[in-house]
Amino acid sequence: MTDWTRKTAAQMADALAAGEVTSVELVQAHLDRIAAVDGTVESNSVHAFLHIDAEGALEAARAVDADRAAGVELPRLAGVPIGIKDVLVTKGLPTTAGSRILEGWIPPYDATVTRRVREARMPILGKTNMDEFAMGSSTEHSGYGPTRNPWDLDRIPGGSGGGSAAALAAFEAPLTIGSDTGGSIRQPASVTATVGVKPTYGGVSRFGAIALASSLDQLGPCGRTVLDTALLHEVMGGHDEMDATSLNEPVPAVVEAALEGAQMDLTGVKVGVVRELSGADGGYQAGVTQRFEESLDKLRAMGAEVVEVSCPSFEYALAAYYVILPSEASSNLAKFDSVRFGKRVEKATVEKTMLATRAEGFGDEVKRRIILGTYALSAGYYDAYYGSAQKVRTLVQRDFDAAFEQCDVLVSPTTPTTPFKIGERIDDPLAMYLNDIATIPANLAGIPGMSLPSGLAPEDGLPVGFQILAPAHEDARLYRIGAALEASLTAEWGGPLSAQAPELEVAE
């Protein structure tokens, strides 16, 4: 019997179109898988989902099957199930952004991306776990307990989109949606051997995405293969007048680029290794560096020219990010005031109610960042912190501009290490922040980035991610180079890396 959960989204779409399977069967197979392995916080299982909408997903699937039987023309991914990060509002489905302050909130509207997923006729399996308000790199800061990495349940699945990445790695969903403010799509992809893309800033509408840092946030697609990720990218992307930062231009032809890349010909492509992100100066795990170097060899073997470039101001990117993000977050999170929606801890006056509600509703990481942002924006400190950080942002953009003069794409390991153990860095915020050292510069500059698997580190057998960065608006380049590398590595492995993940214990 075919285990449909092991197929790619593209294969599922083809099988649906060919009448080999129904959407109800696909949805049921994934609901069964979720029931078997997702478990709960208490059971120390994957816990990728915060909410599962079995009935809604099956109803959407039945409608797709009926339309297909009636000969209605359907979108490519119609009937293929999907998981949505809990940062996106979904009409009628609970939305918490991983925070207790939004526990039980049912949004009265759909995010634009949610609407596009529904219009693409993709059944929504449920909402995936995340660090509270997307603040974190491990999903340990979720108000509802951590997600665990399917490769090793004692380890983090990355964050903030650990739920979306773990759901893919555990075969609970073929596609998921993420959001990337400093690496929250790419870093989880890296540590779970999945694929994740942060599109160009403005490439995907953020209307209905609960804002973390508005000048950095971008929604993006997550999948197990580069082609699947491209298919979802085209569903999500495109101009939306409900988002003032939305780019008024067509979605890049990323599916075409992925198909072209799979031909494995990179003749004439110039690939730049960013010295400051490559681990050349130390601090990177040996197996991460080794797999990165091997991937560079693969690119060379397909005809690419690999050169080294330097981006000296990246040394300041992490510091700039941890000024800009908390500043914007402290402002965005002011709306959780106990008045219009969300939690209320009733006290004698509205001010005391607000103080108590936010104290109880927010976790420690959110409090840390709100206070940091309040400090950086306060009179007397604004120029030294926020003003300076915005200047660093200009310097980072200039470095990227200079680098892209010399090459078509830039590459690096996505993260300095393979996934660490749950609890290991929870009391050391600075150590946690270092996880995103290689992913943050792209957010500061608004450029697109992808992470895809480059192998398992020999010393611990855990996933290593390969990051590709392209100039703004050139998202298609990520898919061409990524699909080529994926094809080359998959041929060597004898199949996708995701298939090598250990079997999870199945609940009775």
Partner 1 sequence: MSSLERSDVARLAALARIDMTDADLDRLSGQLAVIVDAVAKVAEVAGEDVPATSHPIPMANIHREDVVRPSFAQDDALAAAPEAEDGRFRVPQILGEEA
Q: What amino acid positions are annotated as catalytic residues?
A: 85, 160, 184
Q: Of these, 28, 44, 290, 374, which contacts partner 1 (CB under 8 A)?
A: 374
Q: Of these, 294, 337, 424, 460, which contacts partner 1 (CB under 8 A)?
A: 337
Cα separation, 223 vs 258, whole angstroms: 13
**How many CB atoms sit inside 10 A of residue 507's CB?**
12
Among residues 75 and 94, whose Cβ is nearest to partner 1?
A: 94
Minimum distance of partner 1 from residue 348's CB (angstroms): 6
Please tell me whether residue 241 binds partner 1 under the rule CB under 8 A.
yes
Among residues 440 and 504, whose Cβ is nearest to partner 1?
A: 440
Among residues 82 and 372, whose Cβ is nearest to partner 1?
A: 372
Among residues 300 and 367, whose Cβ is nearest to partner 1?
A: 367
Among residues 317 and 456, whose Cβ is nearest to partner 1?
A: 317
Minimum distance of partner 1 from residue 336's CB (angstroms): 9
Minimum distance of partner 1 from residue 93's CB (angstroms): 13
Among residues 216 and 288, whose Cβ is nearest to partner 1?
A: 216
Binding-residue total with partner 1 (CB under 8 A) = 75
Please tell me whether residue 385 binds partner 1 under the rule CB under 8 A.
yes
Amino acid letter at 253? Answer: A
- Between residue 26 and residue 85, which ones bind partner 1 under the rule CB under 8 A? none
Please tell me whether residue 401 binds partner 1 under the rule CB under 8 A.
no
Q: Which residue has the tokens 């609890």?
A: 423
SS3 string of 223-290?
Answer: ECCHHHHHHHHHHHECCCCCCCCCCCCCCCCHHHHHHHHCCCCCCCCEEEEEHHHCCCCCCCCHHHHH
Minimum distance of partner 1 from residue 505's CB (angstroms): 36
Among residues 73 and 346, whose Cβ is nearest to partner 1?
A: 346
Q: Which pair of tokens denotes residue 228?
A: 């699947």
Phi, psi for 255 (deg, rounded to 5):
-65, -45
What binding mask, one character per residue, do residues 124-163 give for partner 1 by CB under 8 A, x or -?
Answer: ----------------------------------------
Q: Which pair of tokens denotes residue 173?
A: 């969903």
Among residues 200 and 229, whose Cβ is nearest to partner 1?
A: 200
Among residues 198 and 298, whose Cβ is nearest to partner 1?
A: 198
Minimum distance of partner 1 from residue 206's CB (angstroms): 13
Among residues 32 and 241, whose Cβ is nearest to partner 1?
A: 241
Q: Of these, 66, 72, 301, 339, which contacts partner 1 (CB under 8 A)?
A: 339
Q: Of these, 28, 215, 310, 500, which contacts partner 1 (CB under 8 A)?
A: 215
Q: Of these, 145, 319, 460, 490, which contacts partner 1 (CB under 8 A)?
A: 319
Cα separation, 262 vs 276, whole angstroms: 29
Minimum distance of partner 1 from residue 201's CB (angstroms): 5
Q: Of these, 25, 355, 424, 426, which contacts partner 1 (CB under 8 A)?
A: 355
Q: Of these, 148, 186, 393, 425, which contacts partner 1 (CB under 8 A)?
A: 393
Minimum distance of partner 1 from residue 423's CB (angstroms): 16
Please tell me whether residue 425 binds partner 1 under the rule CB under 8 A.
no
Q: Which residue has the tokens 């400190």?
A: 381
- Between residue 172 and residue 211, which ones bind partner 1 under the rule CB under 8 A? 200-202
Nearest to 249 by CA among 472, 437, 398, 67: 472
**Contact indicator for 231, 237 with CB cutoff of 8 Å:** no
Per CB under 8 A, the segment of 73-81, 127-135, 385-393, 495-503 that binds partner 1 is 385-393
Q: Catalogue the long-range contacts made by 63-72 (C-beta closer than 8 Å, 24 or more residues apart).
A: 63/121, 64/16, 64/23, 64/121, 64/123, 65/22, 65/23, 65/24, 67/121, 68/16, 68/19, 68/23
Minimum distance of partner 1 from residue 9's CB (angstroms): 29
Cα separation, 9 vs 174, whole angstroms: 6
Minimum distance of partner 1 from residue 481's CB (angstroms): 22
In the beta sheet, which residues pair with residue 204? 237
Name 203's Cβ contacts closer than 8 Å, sequence gap at least 6: 218, 237, 247, 251, 252, 448, 475
Residue 385 DSSP one-character state: I
Residue 299 gets the label, from left (phi > 0), alpha (psi -120 to 50) or beta, of: alpha
Per CB under 8 A, the segment of 75-83, 143-151, 346-354, 418-426 that binds partner 1 is 346-354
Nearest to 188 by CA among 172, 166, 209, 216: 166
What binding mask, one character per residue, do residues 245-274 give for partner 1 by CB under 8 A, x or -?
Answer: x-x---------------------------
- Measured on CA atoms in the order 103, 104, 109, 110, is the torsion positive or negative? positive
**Contact indicator for 363, 102 with CB cutoff of 8 Å:** no
- Between residue 434 and residue 493, which ones bind partner 1 under the rule CB under 8 A? 443-447, 472
Please tell me whether residue 402 binds partner 1 under the rule CB under 8 A.
no
In the beta sheet, which residues pair with residue 195? 223
Burial class of 48 by CB neighbour count within 10 A (0 to 12, 13 to 18, 19+) = buried
**Contact indicator for 497, 489 with CB cutoff of 8 Å:** yes
Minimum distance of partner 1 from residue 349's CB (angstroms): 5
Please tell me whether residue 426 binds partner 1 under the rule CB under 8 A.
no
Name 46's Cβ contacts closer than 8 Å, sequence gap at least 6: 37, 38, 39, 147, 148, 150, 153, 166, 167, 170, 172, 504
Residue 221 DSSP one-character state: E
